[in-house]
Chain A
Amino acid sequence: MGKGDFAVELEDVGFVLGNGKRLLDGVSLRLPAGETLVLIGRSGSGKTTLLKSINALLRPTSGAIRVLGRDLADWDPIRLRRQVGYVIQETGLFPHFTVEANVGLVPRLLGWDEGRIRARVQELLRLVGLDPDLFGARRPGQLSGGQRQRVGVARALAADPPLLLMDEPFGALDPVTRAELQEEFRLLRDRLRKSIVFVTHDIREALALGDRIGLMSGGRLLRVSAAGDFFQTDEPEVAAYRKVFA
């Protein structure tokens, strides 16, 4: 992928449940490679549904999705997911795996040899600020919330995927740890230049981390703007966010 390519493209994507309920409605967007798009919206606005449609965990009922330059229909979902890092809240770690096994999961699924996996796991744990010798053999249950989330990020990065999907990754953390992780995430993002779709309902997080911000409501993508321009509109939903931000 050269510059100017898109990591994710959605065209008029709709998702209607059997009972007529509309989860997504006419969503179109393009994520240029190397950019971070933050999706913001209230609970039930469709941001998580949109995210899960990108790695084929959910199948929208209409529209077209292209990921990493290829139609979703042409992807083997298993192979696609191994090339797309996926971070969810801390509950997504496997409680019966050690930290090392959690981080090394996707490389292992891809069949890397054990020496390479070990080296990669150590590198990643250091990258997210965890000492491999200290934490590698622990279980998720023996870590703090912040540590668990670092492991989650390391796990998503393990196979060096060009695209990361992050679903409220810092949502369950206390404000101080959260601010720390956001800062580290920003440094990491600038260093690695991955394409990232990041879901949150926290406007401060969106402004701090996004190159661009997409605002969702009722299954529709109301507006996509540069992070700095988010408030430059009369959109009433934006006004609501302005109120909390002030």
Chain B
Amino acid sequence: MEYILSHPFEILKMTGEHLLLVGVSTAIATLVGIPLGVFLTRRPAWSRWVLGAANVIQTIPSLALFGFLIPLPLLGGIGARTAVVALILYALLPIIRNTHAGIASVDPAIREAGVGMGMTDWQLLTRVDLPLALGIIMTGLRLATVISVGVATIAAAIGAGGLGMYIFRGVSMVDDQLILAGALPAALLALAADFLLGLLGRAVTRKPLLCMKLLAAGALAALAAGGAFLLASGGEAREARPIVIGSKNFTEQSILGELLAQRLERAGFKVDRRLYLGGTLICHNALVAGQIDAYVEYTGTAYTAILKRTPVSDARRVYDDLQKSYLEGFGVRLTRPLGFNNTFAIMVRGGDARRLGVKTISDAVAHARRWRAAFGVEFLEREDGYRGLAAAYGLDFAEPPKVMDLGLTYRALADGKVDLIAGDATNGLVSALDLFILEDDLGYFPPYEAVPFVRADALAGHAGLQEAIDSLGGVVSDETMQRLNYAVDGERRDLREVVGEFLDGLGR
């Protein structure tokens, strides 16, 4: 609650963004869904296909749907427009289905009386079908709205803003306060929408004709607002275009995104931040589609996850291969590596390392028979994880390694529950808990160097951009990255401040 109480205006603004996303998308879904539902009652042969398609869309996980939409022209991209498109797709099913079911539930005798009196189909629809089905249609609208409030939190993954920003940041920083700052207003929003539409629904059964007119007017107004909104967000890209910086949705990535952004701002560029985008795939798609101009990627990730190559331990070769493939395939250039290597790191307690004089993994092999180890699931499963490591170094422990949540292994090591873990080289806890990273002296782990990936056309179009980004080459060591991560995650300090101080210290 403290965060909510101390940032009331920011939360109000985010709630407003959220409401806009939900309102615009639900209005458009209503204007599309009700006519479509009506159409199905007139052409029953179509209903199986249309309802089936809407059903399928609703089963697509939202993050996947966003992923599909990003590369599409016009509908896709990064930002509110794509989110609105996805929200419309999700809201369609309940609206179409309830319109269809509502009209189907009208007493056939009443419809026949209407036809027998000489009503045209349009008159039957507007004076009999829709007014009598309105209660059920309103229930569908209510359902669609509540679903949208929930799904819209995920829209933050593609830079659409809204309350999801808090949730994503909160999850990445393991900060309950932040998660609540997003989840609580979202829940209240859902309840309020449900309540208000419920009231409207009851009013509807009393004065259906009046409510129909109001509803149509409301939806049209929202559509007009939405149209203006979409045009505005589309037009934005054509004006003197700022450089758009993206990042994935965890703390280290947001620090690196902010680092790029502030460095460019200090060099006089106008910057647009799109931090906390979903995962690797969303960032990559956005970069290739030109929705963002740059983000920081890890060479090993690009090599295996994007190019689908088998991991290689030669850092130079990986970098050169990527440079060539990305330029030819995607029109993207790699600038100078930032300096640190975010790979799996084999760690022991600092005290043990000093006492035993252990510096490398090879040094540790002799002691390992007396040690216990704990690893995250991923490291135990992956081909380039524990099995390969054990084979490469001839490692053998006192007992089979324990499986544990990766985040908990650091604490377990520091507390002496285990003696060796495979962690994240740049995790802020490494220095905070006095852990020691053993050198991978046989070069077993593939490199995960952090490198800004930048669109070639952005580099060509902005004089001085390449120099500004290259000036960050080599300035972030493993230890520096650990420190920055800890400042944000451990000390809960403000991201912009931490990055600003770091750049001040560099004198850049």
Contact = CB atoms under 8 A, between A and B. Distances in A.
Contacts of A94: 110, 113-114, 127-128
> For the complex, would chain A's binding face be called helix, strand, loop or mixed by DSSP majority?
helix
B120 interface: yes
Interface string B170-212: 0000000000000000000000000000000000000011000
B113 A86 contact: yes
Contacts of B109: 88-89, 91-92
Interface residues on A, range: 20 to 34
B65 interface: no
Contacts of A89: 109
B110 A92 contact: yes
A76 to B, nearest CB: 10
A79 B118 contact: yes
Interface residues on B, range: 10 to 19
A100 to B, nearest CB: 14
A165 B118 CA distance: 13
Given A79-B118, A105-B117, A92 B123 contact: no
B115 interface: yes
B294 to A, nearest CB: 59
A79 B110 CA distance: 19
A46 B260 CA distance: 83
Interface in B107-132: 107, 109-110, 112-120, 123, 127-128, 131-132
Given A88-B109, A89-B109, A95 B132 contact: yes
B116 A86 contact: yes
Contacts of B127: 94
B112 A106 contact: no
A57 interface: yes
A95 B110 contact: yes
Interface string A19-59: 00000000000000000000000000000000010010100
A96 B115 contact: no
Select the residue from B116, B208, B209 with max chain A CB neighbours within 10 A: B116
Interface string A41-84: 00000000000100101000000000000000000001111100
Contacts of A91: 107, 109-110, 113
Contact of A109 (B118, B132, B208): B118
Contacts of A95: 110, 132
Given A94-B110, A96-B131, A88 B117 contact: no
A196 interface: no
Contacts of A57: 112, 115-116
A106 B118 contact: yes
Interface string B301-313: 0000000000000
Nearest to A90: B109
Given A57-B115, A96-B131, A96-B132, A78 B120 contact: yes
B169 to A, nearest CB: 50
11 contacts: A78-B118, A78-B120, A81-B116, A82-B118, A88-B112, A88-B113, A91-B110, A92-B112, A94-B113, A105-B117, A109-B119
Interface of A: 52, 55, 57, 78-82, 86, 88-89, 91-96, 105-106, 109, 155, 165
Given A92-B110, A109-B123, A155-B117, 19 more contacts: A57-B112, A57-B115, A78-B119, A80-B118, A82-B117, A86-B117, A88-B113, A88-B116, A91-B110, A92-B109, A92-B112, A92-B116, A94-B114, A94-B128, A95-B110, A95-B132, A96-B131, A106-B118, A109-B118
